[in-house]
Amino acid sequence: MSDAKKPWGGRFEHTPSRFLDEFGASLPVDKRMWAEDITGSIAHARMLARQGVISEADADAIEEGLSEIYREIRDGHFDFDVADEDIHMAIERALTERIGPAGGRLHTARSRNDQVALDTRMYAKRMARELAEALAAVRATLASLAESHADVVMPGYTHLQKAQPVLFAHHMLAYFWMLARDATRVRHAYEAADIMPLGSAALAGTTFPVDRRFVADRLGFAEVTANSLDSVSDRDFLLDLTYACTVTMVHLSRLCEELIMWSSEEFGFVTMDDAYSTGSSIMPQKKNPDFAELTRGKTGRVVGDLVGLLTVLKGLPLAYNKDMQEDKEGAFDAIDTTLDCLTVVEGMLATMRVNAERMLAGAHGGFMAATDLADHLVGAGMPFREAHEVIGKLVLSCEREGRTLQDLSAEEFAAVHPALGPDVTGVVDVRAVVERRVSEGGTGPASVAAQLDGARDELAASSAWLAGLGG
Ligand code: ARG
């Protein structure tokens, strides 16, 4: 590697060792931005010709050469040379080998500092779109689960102790809204990336009469950056995208944790499809929810990627510093991991069996109608605190006798308090407890149906945004 001629060779008397060359290289990581690099370079060359900085003939030769390289990389025929430091040098070198001196004109009015900022922004936009699509797919599956299991009642928990019964649909839609906010964060990251930095050159702008807006229009950017120093130093857009990935992973991890618990024998609320389970090499009976566990586990990696990127940027003076080459590996890992996990979770949700009877049985325990009984006493004029006390005592005595609220007879209720009349068995009915939660956003069936409509609207808005991106 150290034998290769450096593009800055003029000023140097000798070159770094092979080890240092490899230490300084980023090609293995940034070569995945090859398409962005080529598309960006073609736009730059066309702009240079239009502005009379290079000839149209040179721009044609550059465009042809780059298009050929594009096809070769796409079809897997391009030979990446380990001697190339990064994707920008690899492509420029291949171009110059093919078209001669015209290739050497491509880098006029440009630095790798604004070039890498451009490529990374284009790549971030492409990935934000893929993330938005994958997030929408999981939301669609959550909404379908809610729709197809509209009547299923399950225990709701606080502190992982049974609290009040809820609809399974309500529980699924809770995750829908988390992922909808993740989609908003991804969209914000897209917009943050959608500003065109080329023309900032190394740090101070360029002496050539560049037309930055032409390049921005051609590459589909909404705007051009306002400050050349900021343009080559800013990686906020990558932080935004990595943060969006991190929160998405935290949400997926929570969902996976519930699926793992729910598929245990103790809960039995869901049964994972065999395709999303693995066995044990020693225990023949085992069926493990590995993929949910891995998603939960990979969340740690993505959190690490975010912290890593924040730490790389912290304390960097303006403008470009080589530290910034360390921005991509973690961000790419966060994006890849999140995309994979969204695919895994979507498939897991779409194929799992929902065990409605087990959920309903679970909703009978835990004295989950206690709040409703207290509310009933309030309806009869008792202050809530006193009602809380009365029902608390009732729960205690049931607990001592090993009975549930649904086991008590009308006479037994009446003996607790006269306001607990014959209609009280209807009060403790689990389904009735759910149906009474009619507040907007509550778990009552009518509220959940309205919520599902809102979810469908949200999904439609999300696809409209994606469709508006074109291409
Ligand atoms: N590979 C570099 C990166 O990813 C490209 C920019 C290099 N610029 C420089 N002045 N060395 O950051």
Query: What is the number of the ligand 1 atom nearest to the C-alpha of 320?
Result: 10
Angle at 146 between CA 140 and CA 147, to 5 degrees: 90
Whether the per-residue pLDDT at 308 is higher than 70: the answer is yes
3-class secondary-structure state, position 167: strand
Per-residue pLDDT tens for 273-292? Answer: 999 988 888 888 888 999 99
Residue of minimum CA distance from atom 12 in ligand 1: 325
* Nearest atom in ligand 1 to 30's CA: 4
Could you please state the CATH topology (level 3) that the domain comprising 3-108 is classified under: Fumarase C; Chain B, domain 1 (1.10.275)
Residue 471 above 80 pLDDT? no
In tens, the pLDDT along 341-383 reads 999 999 999 999 999 999 999 998 779 899 999 999 999 999 9
Cβ 277 vs Cβ 352: under 8 Å: no
What burial letters (b/e) apply to 77-97, b meaning 16+ CB within 10 Å? ebeeeebbbbbbbbbbbbbbe
What are the residue numbers of the active site? Answer: 159, 280
* Predicted local distance difference test score (pLDDT) of residue 2: 44
b/e map of 234-244 (b: 16 or more CB within 10 Å)? bbebbbbbbbb
3-class DSSP state of 250 = helix
Q: Which residues pair with 154 in a beta bridge?
A: 166
Mean pLDDT of the chain: 95
Q: Which residues line ligand 1 (CB under 6 A)?
A: 26, 30, 86, 112-113, 116, 320, 322, 324-325
At residue 1 the predicted structure's pLDDT band, cuts being 50, 70 and 90, is very low
- State the pLDDT at residue 10: 81
Going from the Cα of 213 to the center of ligand 1, the distance in angstroms, rounded, reads 24
Residue 457 has pLDDT above 80, yes or no: yes
Q: How far is the CA of 285 from the centre of ligand 1 (A)?
A: 54
Which atom of ligand 1 has the smallest separation from the CA of 85?
1
Tokens representing residue 350 in the block:
């779409």
Q: What is the pTM of this model?
A: 0.95
Amino acid at 21: D
Ligand 1 centroid vs 249 CA: distance in angstroms?
Answer: 30
Across the range 4-31, mean pLDDT stands at 87
Alpha helix positions (H), 285-326: 290-313
Q: Above 90 in pLDDT, residue 12?
A: no
Identical fold, 113-362 and 363-450: no
Q: How far is the CA of 320 from the centre of ligand 1 (A)?
A: 8
422: pLDDT confidence band, cut at 50, 70 and 90? confident
Q: Where are the domains of the chain?
A: 3-108, 113-362, 363-450
Q: pLDDT tens-digit profile of 385-405?
A: 999 999 999 999 999 999 988
pLDDT band at 4 (very low <50, low <70, confident <90, very high): low
Calpha distance 193→121 (Å, rounded): 5
**How many CA atoms within 13 Å lie on the side-chain side of 389?**
5
Tell me, what's the pLDDT at 157? 97
Residue 31 has pLDDT above 80, yes or no: yes
Rounded CA separation 128/335 (Å): 9
* Cis bond upstream, residue 319 (ω within 30): yes
Average pLDDT over residues 60-74: 98
Q: What's the CATH number of domain 363-450, 3.40.462.40, 3.40.50.970, 1.10.40.30, 1.20.1740.10?
A: 1.10.40.30
Confidence of residue 70 (pLDDT cuts 50, 70, 90): very high
Tokens of 75: 């079809």
Residue 237: is its pLDDT beyond 60? yes
Cα–Cα dist 421/471, whole Å: 66
Q: Where are the beta strands (DSSP E) in 159-295?
A: 161-167, 195-196, 223-224, 270-271
Residue to mutate (ligand 1; options 113, 115, 203, 313; most atoms within 8 A of CB): 113
Does residue 196 register a pLDDT over 50?
A: yes
Read off the pLDDT band of 5 (50, 70, 90): low
Helix (H) or strand (E) holding 354: strand 353-354
CA of 443 to the centre of ligand 1 (A): 53
Please identify, by atom number, the ligand 1 atom nearest to the C-alpha of residue 120.
Answer: 4
Indicate the DSSP class of residue 288.
Answer: B
Q: Does domain 113-362 have CATH number 1.20.200.10?
A: yes
Helix (H, G, I), strand (E, B) or coil at 140: helix
- How sure is the predictor about 296, in pLDDT bands with cuts at 50, 70 and 90? very high
Q: What is the widest separation between alpha-carbon atoms in the chain?
A: 101
pLDDT of residue 284: 84
Residue 134 makes CB contacts below 8 A (sequence gap 6+) with: 338, 339, 342, 343, 346
Indicate the top mutation candidate among 88, 309, 316, 325 to test ligand 1's pocket, ranked by most ligand atoms within 8 A of CB: 325
